Chain A
Amino acid sequence: MKAINMSRRKFLKTSSVVGGGLVVGFAMTGCSTVKLPIEMSDYGFVPNAFLQITPDNTVRFYCPRDEMGQGVTTGLGTLIGEELDVHPQDMEISFAGVHRDYKNPDFGVQGTGGSSSLKAHYLPLRQVGANTRALLVEAAARDLGVSVGDIATESGHVVVAGKRFPYGQFVGTAALLTAPEQAPLKLNADFRYIGTEFSRVDAIAKSTGTAEFGIDIDIPGMHHAVVIRSPIAGAKLSSVDKSGAQNMPGVTDVIEISSGVAVVAEKYWQAKTAAEKLDPTWDDVALAKVDTSTVRQDYAEAMKNEEGVSDTDEGNVVAGLESADHVIESEYWAPYLAHAPMETMNAIVRIENGEADVWSGTQGIVAAQGLVARFSGIPVEKVRAHSTYLGGAFGRRGTLTHVIEATEVAVASNKPIHLLWSREDDIRNGVYRPASLMKIKAGVKNDGSITAWQAKRVGGNITPKTLENMMPALFPGLGDGTIDFMVGLSRDVFASWVVDHSSVEGLYEDYDTANKTVDHVTVDHNLPLTFWRSVGHSYTSLAKEGMVDELAEKVGMDPVQFRVNNTQNNPRLNNVIKVGQQQMKKMQPAEGRYLGFASHHSFSTDVAEIAEVSVEGNEIRVHKVTCIVDCGIAVNPDVVRGQMEGAVMFGLTAALYGDLDLEQGAIKQSNFHDYPILRMGEAPEVDVIIIDSGTEPTGVGEPGLPPIAPAVASAVYKATGQRLRSLPFKLA
């Protein structure tokens, strides 16, 4: 065995040269000058940004994406482990720090979302694994004096003539070699881990309380901060009498920050108790005049009176409607929603000797780094950003105002700060799924063909708010004025020129017709908006699927057969519907139970769901859901099932309960008593059928959600004759 005998300096030089340019699809230019954010104390061999192999044969995978429960550590670990020939459960998994090599190939920035991770990394991470394996094999050939062709690999070992040698034995030699850039990838038939089932790699940590979330970070000298914010978004602090909090036990600082007033104490409960003594006043903002009824009225007027901006215009909708035997027009409503992840927002910031550290569970740790730099004045390269597990995200952890707050408090108090939001803060001071009013007018012939599809949506857009959040984070050096200008510009652009696609996605794509229009009217009341699990699809699916049910009924056709007939242009969706149709035919619901069907394409994945529902009085009970999904190769089928199960529950919470009310600009709801989440007794049994289409993997975190509300609505219609067109569902 060859011992590693390199100075750290030499090692860094070697690894950075080797690390630059391994993989097509990952931006690598110039990274030889940028040090990897990898702990080097037991460094071993670091052939690239993703792997570290030590002489004791520890294989550490630096996971570039954020684990919010979707199973990305298991999934990406499987991709790299497959080609490296190391079982994903045998790897140590660390969350990557900030580096250009960790950018999401789909986004061009280091972020996690859009159900993109497996799709974006399927080939690039396998290539990293394959290149690294080739390098280890080459090193083993040299060290053992055999030819490369005589070497096999399995489970983190080189195998020569039946004898096993751990990879760690060859890392010294490997570190001196240059990795190939395009080592051949395995054939699908040779997969050992992709497509097989094993426990999630994070299951033990998450079943023993040892998984570390942001809230669990505890650093020496740390103080705790609680912030009192305006109940109305955007209202700035007008005045505050700090004396009530200042003299409370343990309190060290009471500080005015950009979002409100922060109380700093030695312990969390001291800060929390003291903060309740504050009674600040806030500046007036336009949102203060807005109630939910204002929103609904403004949307209804815009729907009626405003043409809006065109997103899609195919064929001739007017002629299509004229040629129809029947024309149906319906409106659909979806409210604002909070994400309510179980772990409330938190960030830990330490500023010391002109350098900073930040810990937070985010959907883009690079943004946390940028925000700390911007709000502390410390150069971005002197800010170390540390990822943790995320206690749920669903889109919420892309907005990091809590990192700004923690930075401001750390600067002003000159202490390491742990800042935590309460549940009330989470529900009332968050960023929300936009409310939407949708209208679809569609024509159908007696033979069941759709002649025209005219769709319109009224509501706010999430992209300008996302820019407002991300620009200060990604461009810490950019001035506030420039950012305000660009955010304002994007608001105007999406209000007047082009449609923010996430506002209308899913409203029109799935069904065949030559004549389609989609128009959009932006009406925004300045409540902060953002991505929420499945984004636009979370509300458009109810309108699109509801309309299809109505069209099928009008021509006396089975609604599932109607879907089969009208999805010929989307063969994968068509197949999912057909498999669902076969399943549904086999089902024998008990007396008083009804089956509802819906399907939806989102995030490149096709899903159909069958809900078995009963209605007792005004109560809708969902007993069982059968979910058919085609997401290409299921890298870990059990994780895919878990995501479908979870998305069904998330979508059911929205369908049955999810509602936020504005009262004079403030969110009325505050905690789980008035913003209820589905509980175990209400949870349906879920059967998941994965269609093995053999193509490259597509998203699974979000696509299970859109079909559930319309599937339940369809069943409720059979049970009661009531069409449910408004979320959350309420029976008359």
Chain B
Amino acid sequence: MIEFTLNGKAVRTDDDPGTPLLWVVRDTFKLKGSKFGCGAGLCGACTMHIDGKASRTCMTPISAVSGRNVTTIEGLGTPDELHPLQAAWVELSVPQCGYCQSGQIMSAASLLNKNPTPSSADVDAAMSGNICRCGCYVRIKEAVLTVAGQSLAYNADEEIKA
């Protein structure tokens, strides 16, 4: 039995300790926002935060998250209460197919937690592990830089109407 915190809630599972966190979150806890893309830590679609740090969960066995804090895209914001990054994503119409965007946003959120005012090169470096096959990179970067430096004490009522 492995116990950890998932989006602020204590959870426990008897899944095999070798099972990657991604599949436990998707199949056992039924949170489907984090995606499978490569199974090898190469594309970033599965990115979640483990103790605040962006992690490739298709490669992270749940034994490694015992007692730790896991945050998924569902824990970052919701359609009614968007995180500032999500609001910027919407305003700039960043997603195309949208499949990679949960991972992109989680990587961006981790970057801004560590470095609230990243340079363009900082964004490139932090986001280089996330592939977008639709090629939305220009907008992803613009969205991250738009939010960079904003107060993260965010008022959801001000969100995008466009």
Which A residues are closer than 8 A to B by beta carbons?
A: 67-71, 198-200, 202-213, 215-216, 218, 224, 249, 267-270, 340-344, 389-394, 420, 422-424, 638-639, 642-643, 645-650, 653, 671-673, 677-681, 683, 685-686
Neighbouring B residues of A209 by C-beta, 8 Å? 31-34, 72-74, 102
| CB of B63, distance to nearest CB on chain A (Å) | 13
Cβ of B153 under 8 Å from chain A: no
Are A423's CB and B93's CB within 8 A? no
Say which residue of A207, A210, A215, A686 sits within 8 Å of B35 (CB atoms): A215
The count of residues in chain B whose C-beta lies closer than 8 Å to any C-beta of chain A is: 63
With A207-B90, A392-B134, A423-B37 already in contact, the answer to whether A199 and B162 are too (CB < 8 A) is yes
Are B79's CB and A208's CB within 8 A? yes
| CB of A512, distance to nearest CB on chain B (Å) | 33
Are A391's CB and B35's CB within 8 A? yes
Nearest A residue (CB) for B74: A209
With A198-B162, A208-B78, A209-B102 already in contact, the answer to whether A69 and B73 are too (CB < 8 A) is no
Nearest B residue (CB) for A652: B135
A685, B93: Cα distance in complex, Å:
17
Are B45's CB and A645's CB within 8 A? no
Given contacts A423-B40, A671-B42, A678-B137, 6 further A-B contacts (CB under 8 A): A206-B97, A341-B99, A342-B97, A343-B97, A391-B99, A672-B40
Nearest B residue (CB) for A342: B99
| CB of B93, distance to nearest CB on chain A (Å) | 5
Are B42's CB and A680's CB within 8 A? no
With A199-B160, A646-B134, A685-B138 already in contact, the answer to whether A342 and B90 are too (CB < 8 A) is no
A71, B94: Cα distance in complex, Å:
11
Cβ of B125 under 8 Å from chain A: yes
Nearest B residue (CB) for A210: B79
Q: Closest 8 interchain pairs by CB?
A: A209-B33, A649-B135, A206-B98, A69-B97, A391-B99, A69-B96, A209-B73, A206-B95
Interface string of B59-95 (1 = CB under 8 A from A): 0000000000000111001110010001001110111
A6, B47: Cα distance in complex, Å:
50
Nearest A residue (CB) for B23: A269
Nearest A residue (CB) for B37: A342
Are B97's CB and A392's CB within 8 A? yes
With A269-B19, A672-B42, A679-B128 already in contact, the answer to whether A645 and B133 are too (CB < 8 A) is no
A95, B34: Cα distance in complex, Å:
22
With A269-B20, A642-B93 already in contact, the answer to whether A208 and B128 are too (CB < 8 A) is no
| CB of B82, distance to nearest CB on chain A (Å) | 7
Cβ of B146 under 8 Å from chain A: no
Neighbouring A residues of B139 by C-beta, 8 Å? 642, 645
Interface of B is mostly: loop
Are B128's CB and A672's CB within 8 A? no
Neighbouring A residues of B123 by C-beta, 8 Å? 680
A199, B140: Cα distance in complex, Å:
14
Q: Which of B110-158 contact A (CB under 8 A)?
A: 123-125, 127-128, 130-141
Say which residue of A224, A391, A671, A685 sits within 8 Å of B97 (CB atoms): A391
Neighbouring A residues of B57 by C-beta, 8 Å? none
| CB of B39, distance to nearest CB on chain A (Å) | 6
Of the A-B pairs whose beta carbons lie under 8 Å apart in the complex, a sample of 13, sorted by A's number, is A69-B96, A69-B98, A203-B95, A204-B82, A206-B101, A208-B78, A213-B99, A270-B16, A341-B99, A342-B99, A671-B42, A679-B127, A680-B130
Are B98's CB and A205's CB within 8 A? yes
A677, B137: Cα distance in complex, Å:
12
Are A677's CB and B16's CB within 8 A? no
Are A204's CB and B135's CB within 8 A? no
Say which residue of A70, A208, A268 sits within 8 Å of B33 (CB atoms): A208
| CB of B136, distance to nearest CB on chain A (Å) | 7
Neighbouring B residues of A393 by C-beta, 8 Å? 97
Are B93's CB and A639's CB within 8 A? yes
A209, B125: Cα distance in complex, Å:
24
Nearest B residue (CB) for A224: B27
Neighbouring B residues of A71 by C-beta, 8 Å? 96
Neighbouring B residues of A218 by C-beta, 8 Å? 30, 32
Are A649's CB and B137's CB within 8 A? yes
Neighbouring B residues of A213 by C-beta, 8 Å? 35, 99
A683, B130: Cα distance in complex, Å:
13
With A342-B131, A677-B131 already in contact, the answer to whether A389 and B32 are too (CB < 8 A) is no
Are A390's CB and B97's CB within 8 A? yes
Cβ of B43 under 8 Å from chain A: yes
Are B101's CB and A340's CB within 8 A? no
With A646-B96, A672-B38 already in contact, the answer to whether A269 and B16 are too (CB < 8 A) is yes
Are A642's CB and B96's CB within 8 A? yes
Cβ of B36 under 8 Å from chain A: yes
| CB of A270, distance to nearest CB on chain B (Å) | 8
Are A392's CB and B95's CB within 8 A? no
Say which residue of A68, A267, A650 sits within 8 Å of B135 (CB atoms): A650
Cβ of B100 under 8 Å from chain A: yes
Are B133's CB and A677's CB within 8 A? yes
Are A267's CB and B98's CB within 8 A? no
Are B23's CB and A267's CB within 8 A? yes
A287, B130: Cα distance in complex, Å:
35
Neighbouring B residues of A204 by C-beta, 8 Å? 79, 82, 86, 90
| CB of B142, distance to nearest CB on chain A (Å) | 10
Are A679's CB and B40's CB within 8 A? no
A268, B20: Cα distance in complex, Å:
11
Are A647's CB and B135's CB within 8 A? yes
A340, B102: Cα distance in complex, Å:
18
Neighbouring A residues of B3 by C-beta, 8 Å? none
Neighbouring B residues of A67 by C-beta, 8 Å? 97
Cβ of B105 under 8 Å from chain A: yes
The listed residue with most A CB atoms (<10 A of its CB), out of B35, B125, B133, is B133
